[in-house]
Structure 1
């Protein structure tokens, strides 16, 4: 072999080794996390794991849940990250999740961890039902701020309330599920009948009602605390109200899709998702996170948001989800916005 041939072979070998060393795994990650936050999560994780790239596929919780179920026999996702725990319980029941106990899971608040051993999902943070109330528009109309869920049925609010559709929005589902748990089935449906009279529209996004209130497009947006704090920080004339009966809530959670070809990379993402660093990032917008002792007060939100959360039965909500959604659609879907 000539010295030139040896040099060429050596160069090829070096190139192959180099490309192997920098080979990247791309994880397809289905998420319902607010789009504004995805870049910072991606950048932080990829900086610590340069051999793994995240390809986000984002939609609202209800849409994402339906998409995952439709793909059951031909999964397209590697990881579900930041989707409602009740949705992940549905997937678990269909045998679609890969059980995995991420490093450090024992440090999390137990209510943010699947009860099975090993767990099929782990929580990140909680989004908590809240009302976004436009003080300027309310004053123009001579309205007084509501203090409770019951107040939303008062005649003065007719046409001035917007809330999410629970079939497409996890926020909408946590509201309906919470009312059923707080009030009991018969009283809750009677309440929703009365509330429906005051509803201007049901949106397909949990944050949209709050954004509409912030923009003066409605007076009351039934939403959750994160977009409220964001809008108020941006100067919107809104108050964030936690109803006196207690607020429904949902855990944003993470799981590995069973059968993924990228299992080791998926485990690294789930490990990172429950880390103290990740929880500190969640706390930028969410007042309640899975890692105890991490959460600091969020600007424009009360320090005791966790105390306003009802005792939420995720298993009951997941097991009754289809029945609840069908009944809700039969009664109220006529006021839903057109789907985009």
Structure 2
């Protein structure tokens, strides 16, 4: 009886000691506020892996679409609330850098990245993570039932048979929507691109606030055609959705998810730790689970439902043009087309 009581007391003391240690660690952990536009179903995976590597840092994630996050950061310019931006479009980070919102930092190992994924300033204001690429989701069942053929090009979407069957992201709120518009302008020039978008608008049933929403709607049969991005389209097809992933013949717009430190952060050392992890091989291998193109050469393996020549199909993207002209392009787009945008 006495031995059992002593054993119980020892177990209780050990449990209390462990609990006190965990509580002390949590109390001493540095909290980072991180703004992100990473897809929700991947964010949890990335966060868990970082937490395993760095339990001394607690992250408060604030997630929304690219356009909303960019607008929020600009609105908070004089009183920043975030410590780090992680997984936002490079075009947005170029704009934020021009506004003086980023703290330059060269993460440990940045020299191992493809130079086109790294800001050219020394030290860089931002570093890239992966590239997301424009694509079209086509619902094969609904398309056959309604007599809407599978498109093979962007121009196909302006044909009469697509009227009312196309969903696209609003470029003001969605980074995918903006990369589409900016890439069409780079492909064809302003006049031809706006003429194309006029014809496309006639066939649009609605504009969404999310880049993945058009593909989700096509997968569920609520739309025949969703202008979206390859990662979402490929994943839905792999999960058994009745969709085909279409890579338009004219070329594919793209942007990269990138990370940066917000100038003025009171947690600079912890922010730098997150940036170091963001460019690591471990992180790039995680990015490659959904994205065929990642920042670190030699890491990327083929992704199911992506073409082997995906890199060759990506346009020669001028990120500076897309960033500098962003406000002007969005204002013109809103003037012409915003009436079909869904309510929030």
TM-score of Structure 1 vs Structure 2, range by shorter chain: over 0.9
Give yes or no for the alignment of 1:153 onto 2:177.
Answer: no
C-alpha contact 1:161 1:218 (8 A) present in aligned 2: yes
Give yes or no for the alignment of 1:211 onto 2:241.
Answer: no
Of the three residues 317, 331, 336, the one matched with 1:312 is 317
Aligned to 2:30: 25
Equivalents in 2 of 1:245, 1:267: separation in Å? 40
C-alpha contact 2:25 2:56 (8 A) present in aligned 1: no
Of the three residues 85, 88, 94, the one matched with 2:90 is 85
The alpha-carbon deviation at position 161 of structure 1 amounts to 0.4
Aligned to 2:13: none
TM-score by length of 2: 0.92
Which structure 1 segments of 5+ residues have no match? Answer: 1-14
Of the three residues 316, 321, 327, the one matched with 1:322 is 327
The alpha-carbon deviation at position 19 of structure 1 amounts to 3.8
C-alpha contact 1:138 1:144 (8 A) present in aligned 2: yes
Equivalents in 1 of 2:219, 2:157: separation in Å? 18
Which one is further off, 187-196 or 300-309?
300-309
Of the three residues 128, 135, 140, the one matched with 1:135 is 140
Of the three residues 271, 274, 281, the one matched with 2:279 is 274
Give yes or no for the alignment of 1:53 onto 2:58.
Answer: yes
The alpha-carbon deviation at position 323 of structure 1 amounts to 0.1
Equivalents in 2 of 1:110, 1:239: separation in Å? 33
What is the root-mean-square deviation of aligned Cα atoms in Å?
1.4
**Alignment coverage as a number of residue pairs:** 324
Equivalents in 2 of 1:140, 1:19: separation in Å? 62
Which structure 2 segments of 5+ residues have no match? Answer: 1-19
Of the three residues 259, 273, 284, the one matched with 2:289 is 284
TM-score by length of 1: 0.93
Aligned to 2:103: 98
Equivalents in 2 of 1:243, 1:29: separation in Å? 35
The alpha-carbon deviation at position 22 of structure 1 amounts to 6.8
The alpha-carbon deviation at position 21 of structure 1 amounts to 9.8
Change in CA separation of 1:287 and 1:21 when aligned onto 2, cut-off 3 Å: closer
Give yes or no for the alignment of 1:34 onto 2:46.
Answer: no
Equivalents in 2 of 1:292, 1:131: separation in Å? 27
Give yes or no for the alignment of 1:65 onto 2:90.
Answer: no
C-alpha contact 1:248 1:309 (8 A) present in aligned 2: yes
The alpha-carbon deviation at position 143 of structure 1 amounts to 2.1
Of the three residues 247, 255, 259, the one matched with 1:250 is 255
Aligned to 1:3: none
C-alpha contact 1:22 1:51 (8 A) present in aligned 2: no
Aligned to 1:169: 174
C-alpha contact 1:160 1:198 (8 A) present in aligned 2: yes
Change in CA separation of 1:117 and 1:37 when aligned onto 2, cut-off 3 Å: same
- Deviation string 1:307-340 (CA, Å, 9 cap, x unpaired) is 111000001100000000000000000000012x
User: Aligned ranges for residues 180-195 of structure 1 at < 5 Å?
Assistant: 180-195=185-200
